[in-house]
Amino acid sequence: MLNFFKSLFSKNITNEKIVQPTEEKVMSNNAVNAIDNNCVGPVMRAGDVAQAAIEAAEMDNPDKDISVEDKVAYIRISTDNELILTQKSMEECLGRQFKMNEIEINLASFAGQIDVDSKRVRFYFNLTV
Amino acid sequence: MAILEREEWYDLTRTTNWTTKFVTEEEFYPDEMSGHRGIPAEAWETYDEPYKVTYAEYVATQREKDAGVYSVKAALERDAFVDRADPGWVSTMIAHYGAIALAEYAASIAEAKMARFAKAPGNRNMAVFGMMDENRHGQIQLFYPHANVKRNRQWDWAHKAYHTNEWAAIAARSLFDDIMMTRDAVATSIMLTFAFETGFTNMQFLGLAADAAETGDHTFASLISSIQTDESRHAQQGAPSLKILIANGKKEEAQNLIDTAIWRAWKLFTALTGPILDYYTPLESRKESFKEFMLEWIVAQFERQLLDLGLDKPWYWDQFISDLDETHHGMHLGIWFWRPTVWWDPAAGVTPNEREWLEEKYPGWNNTWGECWDVIVDNLQNGKPELTGPETLPTICNMCQLPIVGTPGQGWNVKDHQLEHNGRLYHFGSEVDMKIFQMDPERYQNHMSFIDRFLAGEIQPMDLGGGLKYMGLSPGEMGDDAHGYSWLEAYSTKKSDDAA
């Protein structure tokens, strides 16, 4: 396999390339507009805590549309501007005791800013775009 | 006895600060290390980390995380997934561990720097946990690949890569040295924890986990997604630093730190993560394209958060969005072409079916990158493999330390951006790379790229053997096509189908 690389490093290096102006690229809308969103919420590792978080998100944010995207390894739970998960709802959905900070074991990422205390975790944006 | 809730005592105890008697405060927190930038101690005491944990909580949580991850590994060990995994996926893991494992140890040192020198008490406290997190990531990502060293020496590069002068290792070190090893505590909190960890680690640890789960590699999916739960906590050190800098008239400097870190991280990911997600991962297991993951994690999630903190889009935004369609295809082509110079076996990923997928995800792929691959396929089919390997060295960018690439074929836009500075000629892969250099030339001007070292005579003898030796690549380690060129059969089948 290596014989055809024998001349590697042995020739003069040429780096002068023909340069032509790039044409203005037509970009797809989703690329340009992806930043214009107000989606906040947790991205959970798949499992029972993630399933509980989906239910708890509905209970704790009753007036909001909660979107759930299942990517097998992770599940993105989101809504606009603010999403709250309470310890109380998590315990109810899991059917067991649950300390709010235990969510970290399965909280792989999140959208928005975060605020954590003993009773609830809150994902939010200050600014609406 | 009832135990107080964390929020009833946490703020008070962690804000406890020393009043130094034997040394001055400046000697205790030199600006060079702490990066206080003349902002008074009282301002740093307003630092409010949004994701608070106590030591007791930390230990309990981490124990649970490790118990989960190690039990998945133990349960699946005898399944020997690696032995029946697609070779492209094996290359993905080998590339990943080599590029990541030791960088985690380095990150532990960067966290230790914040734990000692950050003037904000909350930053110091969170960084202690961050330091232990990164130690966990270093150890666990050496332990997992070590089990496979018996299969193939390339797995040993999990430990070896960063100790060598292999070109991709030089590029990775260059990035991490710049954003975390050679910066003060405040800049580290912004460039490493905010820009890199809030942003880019999601690509490598969750985007890739999604593909791993699809592939059936649950051990790897469980491992890297668990690592990311640590990241999502300790990455929260940067935002409070940003708020203090902005409140004290340092927005421009903060923005520059972020813009530099994002661009440099992006470039490394075009060489590492881009090829993995769009070419090495078996087609049926690709959850999304590299570009789609970038839009999800970096544009929609991370960049949007940047706006919420009162910062702006990076000044090179349009270029960045446009490059989402381009740069990583060039990096992939280059890495496959120079395959003996990497520690993994690059998968070509260009069977007719895969090309259909690429064309759908990146309209125009066949008229650009596809034209180069057509030539490679022709040469391989006509028994001229020597024409599918390099005869010269690529030009390497003096900022990102990666080959200078552009779009070939009908979309030709390859350009070497040159700059003469103090009598030395520098080469850059883009205007952005060059501008980052120009903003702080003293930081970068003495670094020698792989090509600079070659031309200076540091690589001896000046031939392939000397180059591979310099890079630390021994037989059995240097890369070759992941599938042993068996993917060419799909073209022969297609030809006979077309003929029929």
Tokens at B335, concatenated: 């890495």
CATH number of the CATH domain containing A119: 3.90.56.10
Please check whether residue A10 lies inside any domain of the structure: no
Residue showing tokens 């590699």: B217
- B480 at interface of A, judged by CB pairs closer than 8 A: yes
Q: Is A8 on the interface with B (CB under 8 A)?
A: yes
B88-113: average pLDDT: 97
Per-residue burial over A68-80, b if 16 or more Cβ lie within 10 Å, else e, is eeebebbbbbbbb
- What mean pLDDT is reported for chain B? 94
- At residue A22, the pLDDT reads 40
Chain B stretch 105-144, residues whose beta carbon is closer than 8 A to a beta carbon of chain A: none
Range of the domain at A62: 41-129
Q: Which residue has the higher pLDDT, B274 or B1?
A: B274
Go through B322-350 and write b for each residue having 16 or more CB atoms within 10 A of its CB, e for each that does not.
Answer: bbbbbbbbbbbbbbbbbbbbbbbbbbbbb
Query: How many of the other CB atoms lie within 10 Å of CB of B500?
Result: 5
Say what the pLDDT of residue B268 is.
Answer: 97
CB within 8 Å: B50 and A13: no
Closest CA to B298 of B258, B333, B330: B258
pLDDT confidence band for B8 (50 / 70 / 90): confident
CA angle, B151 then B155 then B161, to 5°: 160
Q: Which of B193, B180, B191, B187 is nearest to B36 (CA)?
A: B187
For B48, what's the count of Cα atoms within 13 Å in the CB-facing half-sphere? 10
Facing B239 at nearest CB: one of A4, A113, A116: A113
Single out the residue of B152, B142, B156 nearest to residue B82, CA to CA.
Answer: B152
Task: Say what the pLDDT of residue B495 is.
Answer: 67
Across the A:B interface, residue pairs with CB atoms under 8 Å apart total 179
Structure token digits, residue B352:
């007719």
A 78-97 residues with CB < 8 A to B: none
The residue-averaged pLDDT of B317-346 equals: 96
| pLDDT confidence of residue B394 | 87
**Res B6: pLDDT:** 86
Task: Give B175's contacts (C-beta < 8 A, 6+ positions apart).
Answer: B264, B265, B267, B268, B400
Question: Is pLDDT of A21 > 60?
Answer: no
Phi-psi region of B422 (alpha: psi -120 to 50; beta: other; left: phi over 0): left
Instruction: Identify the pLDDT of residue A55.
Output: 97
pLDDT above 90: residue B242: yes
Confidence of residue B77 (pLDDT cuts 50, 70, 90): confident
**Is a pLDDT exceeding 90 seen at residue B399?**
yes
B237 inside 8 A of chain A by CB: no
CA proximity to B407, closest of B356, B370, B435: B370
pLDDT band with cut points at 50, 70 and 90 for residue A30:
low
E strand or H helix at B82: helix B81-84
Give Cα separations from B140 to B101, B153, B248, B282 (angstroms). Answer: 8, 19, 40, 25
The count of domains in chain A is 1
Q: What is the DSSP letter of A96?
A: S
Which helix (H) or strand (E) segment holds residue B438: the answer is helix B431-439
Q: Which residue of B has its CA nearest to A45?
A: B225
Q: Residue range A42-61: average pLDDT?
A: 97
Tell me the pLDDT band of A5, cut-offs 50, 70 and 90: very low
| Between B331 and B394, residue with greater pLDDT | B331
pLDDT-based confidence at A24, cuts 50/70/90? very low
Contact indicator for B390, B337 with CB cutoff of 8 Å: yes
- The structure tokens listed for A2 are 């290596």
**Is B434 a residue whose pLDDT tops 70?**
yes
Is the pLDDT score of B361 beyond 90? Answer: yes
User: Are residues B296 and B288 in contact, defined by beta-carbon separation less than 8 angstroms?
Assistant: yes
In a domain, A119, yes or no: yes
- A108 vs B contacts (CB less than 8 Å): 205-206, 209, 225, 228-229, 232
SS in 3 state form for A27-85? Answer: CCHHHHHCCCCCEEEEEEECCHHHHHHHHHHHHHCCCCCCEEEECCCEEEEEEECEEEE
Residue B403, beta-bridge partner list: B396
Binning pLDDT at 50, 70 and 90, where does residue B392 land? confident
Which tokens in the block code for residue B46?
A: 């307003």
What pLDDT is stored for residue B36 in this prediction? 95
- Which position has the token pair 């020597």? B386
pLDDT interval class at B296 (50, 70, 90): very high
Q: Which amino acid is at A127?
A: L
Mean pLDDT of B405-423: 93
pLDDT of amino acid B393: 83
> At a CB cut-off of 8 Å and minimum separation 6, what does B235 contact?
B193, B194, B197, B198, B201
Instruction: List, for residues B307-323, the tens digit of each pLDDT value.
Output: 999 999 999 999 999 99
Which residues have C-beta within 8 Å of that of residue B323, sequence separation ≥ 6? Answer: B266, B270, B430
Per the domain annotation, does A94 fall within a domain?
yes
Kindly indicate the confidence band of residue B7, based on its pLDDT and cuts at 50, 70 and 90. confident
**Arithmetic mean of pLDDT, B208-215:** 92
Mean pLDDT across B155-174:
97
Q: Note the pLDDT of residue B1.
A: 60
**Domains of chain B by residue range:** 55-499
Q: How far B209 CA lies from chain A's nearest CA (Å)?
A: 6
A109 in a domain, yes or no? Answer: yes
- Dump pLDDT digits (tens) for A68-117: 999 989 999 999 999 999 999 999 999 999 999 999 999 999 999 999 99
Can you give the pLDDT at residue B290? 97
B9/A contact by beta carbon, under 8 A:
no
- At B391, is the pLDDT very low, low, confident or very high (cuts 50, 70, 90)? confident
Q: Which residue has the higher pLDDT, B62 or B492?
A: B62
Burial B68-87 (b: 16+ CB within 10 A, else e): bbbebbeebeeeebbeebbb
Asked if B51 has any chain A CB less than 8 Å from its own CB, the reply is yes
- Is residue B328 pLDDT above 70, yes or no? yes
Chain A within 8 Å of B5 (Cβ-Cβ)?
Answer: yes
Amino acid at B324: L
For a pLDDT cut of 70, what percent of chain B falls above it?
Answer: 98
**pLDDT at residue B481, rounded to an integer:** 97
Alpha-carbon gap, residue B232 to A109, rounded angstroms:
5
Mean pLDDT in residue range B151-162: 97
Number of H helices, E strands in chain A: 3, 7
Which of B211, B277, B393 is the mutation pick for testing A, counting most A CBs within 10 A? B393
- pLDDT by residue (tens digit) across B460-470? 998 878 889 99
Give the model's pLDDT for residue B499. Answer: 66
Per residue in B468-479, pLDDT (tens digit) is: 999 999 989 999
ipTM of the complex: 0.91
The helix (H) or strand (E) run that includes residue B191 is none
Please tell me the predicted confidence (pLDDT) of residue B239: 95
Question: Rounded distance, CA B225 to CA B189, Å?
Answer: 22
pLDDT for B390 beyond 80: no
Contacts of B128 (CB under 8 A, 6+ apart): B111, B115
Q: pLDDT at position A98, please?
A: 97
User: What global pTM score does this model have?
Assistant: 0.93
Structure tokens given for B147 = 């089990």
A16 contacts chain B (CB < 8 A) = yes
Residue window 386-415, chain B: list those with CB within 8 Å of chain A: 386-393, 395, 404, 406, 412-415
pLDDT in tens, B20-40: 899 999 999 999 999 999 999
CATH code for the part of the protein at B55-499: 1.10.620.20
